[in-house]
Amino acid sequence: MAPKADVQVLIVGGGIAGLTLANICKKIGLSYKVFERTAEVTPVGAGISLAPNALRLLDQLGFMDIIRKEGQPLRKIQVYRNTTRWSLLDFEWLEPTYGYSMYSMPRHSMHRALYHRVDPEHVILGAEVVGIEDEPNSPTVKIRLADGREFSGEVLVGADGIRSIVRRLLADKQGLAGVNTIRFTGRTHMTGISYPLEHLGPNDLGVATWVFYDDCILTSWPCTENRQWFVGVKPSEAKTTTRSTWKGATKEMINESYGHRFHPFGKNHTGACQAIEDVGELANLLHTYFAGQSGDPQVLQDLLQEFRKSREPRARNLVYYSSIFAQVHTGRLPYGLGPLARRIAFTYAPVWCWKWACNPLYGYQPRVHALDLLSR
C-alpha cells in the first residue's frame, strides 16, 4: 500500500499566486503547505495593480474590504507628450461595466493580507527546494529541501515565478536541456512608491499619468493619500545589459519629474492578475479531483491537460494584446506609424474605443465554483 501523503497540495512559492492558492485551499477544505525560500516575509516590489479579472476571485475570498482600504481606484488618466498635455481619459466606467474598478496599492500590503489569512503552521519559511521525486504511477509527489527535510503531497504546484525551481527540476528529470526563457526587452526601468505629495488635492486622487518623453516614458499609478507608484522606462544603450541605465538617477531627479510637473499613472501591469487567474482555474481543477476521491494519477493527468488547453489560448491572446499595446504605448509600429497611432489613441479615441480595447483583459473573470457553493 502506497504511503499516505502529508498534505493534498504542496505549494512552492509564497508570493501573490502561492498565497492566493493557499487561501483557496483553506476555504474549500484542502490540506496544504506553502514553501517559501526566503527566511521571513518582507516587502518585495513596489506596487501592484489589481484589475477586474483578478478582483472577482479576491472578492470571493473576502479581500475587497482590505483592497478598498489600502488601494486607490483608478478614475482618470492624463497623458502628456513631453510637457504638453494631450488628454484626460475617463476610466470611471470600469466599475459599472465590469463590477470592479482597477486598484493600485503597495505590493506588500496585498502580500501581507494574503499571508495573515492562511494558517501560519502551513507556511514554511526558509524552505529552499532542491529535489523533486515524481514517479508517473505514484499517487504522491515528494519534495526535498536544502536542510534535508522532505514533504509529500498528492499535487505539487510551482508558484515560484519566472525563475521557477520546480520547472527547472522537472525539466532536468525529463532530460530536457535548460533553456533561459528570460529575454532582454531592450528597455530598463526604475520603480518605487512616493510619499504623499502635498501639492496634490482631493481632485487628484485616482488620477493617473502617462508621460511620453523623447527618450523615455514615465508613468505612475495613483495610490491612497496621493502617493504615487512610479515606473520609469528607457531604452538601454546596450543590446544586453546587467546594469541599470537609471543608475545615475537621484531623489532630486525623481522628485523633479513626479513631485512638481506631473503626477500619477502606469501601463497595463497584468502579471499578478494573470497569476490569480491561473490560480482560480487551477483551484477548480483541484476541487474536482479531490471531490472525486479516485486518487488515480491518470485522472489528475487528464485534468491537468484540460487546464493547459484552457489556459494556453488565454495566455497567447494576452501576449499578443500586450505586444500591440506596448508598440502603441512606445510609439513603435511598422512603417513609422507608431507616433501617429499613439497620438490618435491617446488624444482622439472615444470612450467606446477604450471599452473595446479593455474587454479582452477585464471581460474574463474566473471564479472558484466551490466558493460559490460555500457562500449559499
Confidence at residue 182, expressed as pLDDT on a 0 to 100 scale:
56
Residue 78: count other Cβ atoms within 10 Å of its Cβ: 20
pTM above 0.75, yes or no: yes
Confidence at residue 7, expressed as pLDDT on a 0 to 100 scale:
94
Give the pLDDT confidence of 32-47 residue by residue, as tens digits.
999 999 988 776 767 8
**β-strand pairing of 76-81 with 207-212:** parallel
Q: What is the DSSP letter of 256?
A: I
Confidence at residue 253, expressed as pLDDT on a 0 to 100 scale:
47
Give the pLDDT confidence of 71-81 residue by residue, as tens digits.
999 999 999 99
Give the span between the Cα atoms of 160 and 134, in whole angstroms: 18
**β-strand pairing of 32-36 with 123-125:** parallel
Give the span between the Cα atoms of 23 and 20, in whole angstroms: 5
Contact 8, 264 (CB under 8 A): no
Average pLDDT over residues 71-96: 96
Q: Which amino acid is at 184?
A: F
Cross-strand bridge partners of residue 122: none
Give the span between the Cα atoms of 118 and 122, in whole angstroms: 8
Confidence at residue 206, expressed as pLDDT on a 0 to 100 scale:
95
Judge whether residue 355 has pLDDT over 50.
yes
By percentage, how much of the chain surpasses pLDDT 70? 86
Give the span between the Cα atoms of 140 and 297, in whole angstroms: 9
Confidence at residue 237, expressed as pLDDT on a 0 to 100 scale:
62
Most confident of 61-70, 135-144, 247-256: 61-70
What the block records as the C-alpha cell of 80 is 502628456
Helices and strands counted in the chain (H then E)? 12, 15
Give the pLDDT confidence of 320-340 residue by residue, as tens digits.
998 898 889 888 888 999 999
- How confident is residue 181, by pLDDT bands cut at 50, 70 and 90? low
Judge whether residue 318 has pLDDT over 70.
yes
Confidence at residue 260, expressed as pLDDT on a 0 to 100 scale:
34
Burial environment of residue 122 by CB neighbours within 10 A (0 to 12, 13 to 18, 19 or more)? middle
Q: Which of 62, 29, 168 is nearest to 9 (CA)?
A: 29
Task: List C-alpha distances in Å: 39 to 43, 126, 128, 231.
Answer: 13, 4, 10, 28
Average pLDDT over residues 132-158: 91
- How confident is residue 242, by pLDDT bands cut at 50, 70 and 90? very low
Kindly list the structural domains of the chain, giving each domain's residue range(s) and its CATH number in brackets, ordered by start.
7-179+270-375 (3.50.50.60)
Give the span between the Cα atoms of 11 and 156, in whole angstroms: 6
Give the pLDDT confidence of 185-214 residue by residue, as tens digits.
556 667 888 889 999 999 999 999 999 998
The more confident residue out of 135 and 245 is 135
Q: What is the DSSP letter of 50?
A: E
